[in-house]
Every structure is written in C-alpha cells, then in structure tokens.
Structure 1
C-alpha cells in the first residue's frame, strides 16, 4: 500500500508539471499575437509611437528613445497617423484626361481632381480618375437633360411638326402654320428646318412662271437670229470685194479703200481735162 500510496502521491505532481509546461508553450504565441495600442505601430517585435499626419518616420523608436518624425517633402503627404518611412506622392490632375485641380495637395491631404467644364466623370474610385466630353446634340435633336460633372448629356429626336436647327435647344420649335398667317405653304417643315411660307399658291406661281419662261426663251431665240443675220449680211457684203473679213481692221481696209481711191480720182483731173481747160483760157 505504501508503494501504492507513493504512486498515488507522485501521480498528481506529474500531471501538474505537464500542465505548467502546456501553459508556458501557449503563453509565448499569445504574447506575440498582441497588437500595438492605438497611436502605435509594430516594428522589429516592439511597438513604437506613430508619426502624426504630414510627417514620416525618420528613425524608429528604441528602449531609450521614441520615434523620430520629420515633415513630408513637397509633393508628398500623409493623411493619417502612420509609421511610414516615406510619404505618399500627390496626385496630378491630367488635362488630357479632362481633369482639373479642385484642391491642391498639402502635407496632410492629397490633390482633389474634378472634371473640366463640358466634361463628366467616367472612372470613379475614391475620386474621379478620368473625364469625357459631354455628348453634343445634332440638328433635329433637342437637349432632354444637360450634362453635369457626374452624368452625360441626353439628346432626344424632335417630334413630327417640330424642328431644331442646331441641337442646343431645350425643346424643339413648332413649324410655322402658314394658313394662320394668311399664307400658302411652299415647302413643308422637317426635323431640322421650319415650314416655308409664300404669299402665292403653287398654282399661281406656275401660272406666272410658265409665261415668263416662254417669253425669255422667245427673246433669246429672236436675239440670236438677229445677231446671226447681221453677221451673215456682213460676210456677204465683204465677199463682193473678194475677201471675207475676220477683224474690224479687215472691214476698214476692204470697205474704205475703194472710197479713198474714188475721191483721189475726183480730185485729180485727167490729161484731156487739163488740155481742154487750157484752150478755153487761151493758153498754148
């Protein structure tokens, strides 16, 4: 029994040792799993104080010193408490993407971009990343909803009986009612043009237009015949002289030449006329 009692006494001691070893084995990973407190960050197995917004870590903390922080360089920022060794780069608003700067970057905040006028955002994350131009309505359409920085323009086609000449109107214009103005509709309207009114109907214009056209044609024919006849007579007259003239100088050389020669003959007396005249005067 003594052996049995000893055995009974030593058994609890053996289980106690095993349980203590189990607790020690579990205590170490549990200690490593602990997170640093708010306002601290973990580095090299220890918790160090974070740097405030607008600053970055220059040197980590040690047992004797705290974290050494320095301000962010121009063009960089940190918006929250952090253990970053480098500040974040500021965003650049690219005009080629339709972006403009709404708020410049600061040591504690990033650049805020927006869409330039006449553009709307097509890629949105935390902020707008890319913008596109608003849709442009064409003739025959009206602007149902104008574009904003968040939405595109909506265009609608004009209904029958209305028109839009440029696509910038908020609603299409109705066709002019020629009858109410005491006029005749010369040409009906379309979705891009208004109706064309006239003081005369189609029948009246036809009655007036046909005689005018006929008169013009007849006058053209008569004038052409006269010009052709005049030219023909000139060619016939000139052919009597053995030459058909092609230029005004030719006409002058053919027509005036006989006239000049006739006058010369009249002014220069013949030999018989001079002898007769001298006898009448008693000259030898």
Structure 2
C-alpha cells in the first residue's frame, strides 16, 4: 500500500529537480532534459535538444524572446499616410509606430496620428505636445502676453520701461507694453550737450587769444627795451655857446706850425685863434680879431 505512494513521491522529486536545473530564460524542458532554445531574432528549424538549428527572421519579421518557434512574427505596418514615421525594423525587437513631429496618437491603440493643437494670441503653451500627447495651452497670467499662434512658445513677460521712458499703453494678455521717452529727458541731454560744446569752444578761443596776446606782449617788451620813450636832444647852454665863440689868446709868441702869419696877432702880440665846435681853433687875422673885439665891446 505504501510502496506505490513512495514511487510517486520519488518521481515528483526527480521532476522538480530537473525543473530546477533548467534555465527558464534560454532553455525548455523535454522529458527529464533541459533543451536549448533559439535566441531572439531567430526561428528554430531543427529542434535538436542540445544543438538546435536556428535561422534569422526575414525582412519585416521579428522574434523578441528565446523560443522554439519555427516562424517569426510580422512587424506592424506604420503607414506614413497616417502621419507615422517610417521605421527601421529590427529582427529581435518589435517596432512601435511613432507619430511624426507635430503629431500625436489619436488614441491608446495609436491607429493614426493627429496634428498638435496650437495656442493662439492671449494663450501660451503649458506643456508641449509629444508623439503620445497633445499640446496643452493656458491663458496668459497677469504681467505676461502672447501675440502669436504657436505650439511651442509660452507667454512672455511685459516689457519694463527703462529709465527715462514711461508706459503710454499698458500691456494686455495679447499685447506688450508701449514705452515712450519723456520729453524732459530729451531736452536736458540736448541742453547739457550744447553747454558743454559752448564751454569747449570758449576755452579754445580764450587759449588762442591769450597765446596771441602773449606774443604781442613779448614783441612790445623787446621794442620798449631799446627805447622806453621818445629820444630828447639836450638843450645847449647859450652862455656856453657865447664863450665858445669868444676868441682865445695864446700865450705862446710863436705861431704854431701850420698857422701862417696872415692869421695875425692881437694887440698884445698874441695869436688870435677863435675856438669853434669840437675843440678846433682857427686863427684870425689881426683885422678880424679887432673887429671881433669891437663887436664884443659894443655888445657889452
């Protein structure tokens, strides 16, 4: 009674031992043996347990796991007319049809592709579209705007007017802020520029004029060194002139060489030699000296 039960338990233990020894990924059990399977991308032609004959899958076919299959699976067809990307098939992997850029799957089964939604003026892109999801738009929040239709761009912040400009038109969800320059900030720089240019010109003119005056002053100094004032001729003393014209008697009785007798002598027998300019003396004849003496007496 217990013998058949023991045999059954022994058989179960052998089977479990065999199962435990086989690799569930690359092997399969055949009786009490662990047989080899064909690798992904290949189909089995001969199912020899330890050395099976495997052959690669054909064009547009695949097998993505180790198997004993004698026939490969057909790759799915990605129709470009339905906005799918034309794929490059691999024999060891199933191809997933992917939508072209700008399109997304129409549903979970992805039987076709639909174009992404675009966000219009006043809206911005919250999440960009993907091959599996459509574009998500949102209204531009306060302080931002969008004035175009796009499936990629979000809302843009309003322009902040720089220093010297004021916002004449405030921004909206569809338009940007309009800035204009303040007039006071235009006039003031112009006035400052004119004043600076005038000061520069005045400085240049003053420099040129000062330089010219300095040259004239040096020239006048050189002239004045030679003659500070008009030249004044000294006046001659009338008394000195009369004395110079008065005859001078020499004490020498002899007539100097170079003086002839005709020059004459005075009554005392002295030679009469009147003094003329520059200390020169000219001897006069007796008659002339007497006339000069008489003239002198008459004058006195």
TM-score range, shorter chain: 0.3 to 0.5
- Between Structure 1 and Structure 2, the one with more helix by share is 1
State the TM-score, normalizing by the size of structure 2. Answer: 0.43
Between structure 1 and structure 2, the one with the greater Rg is 2
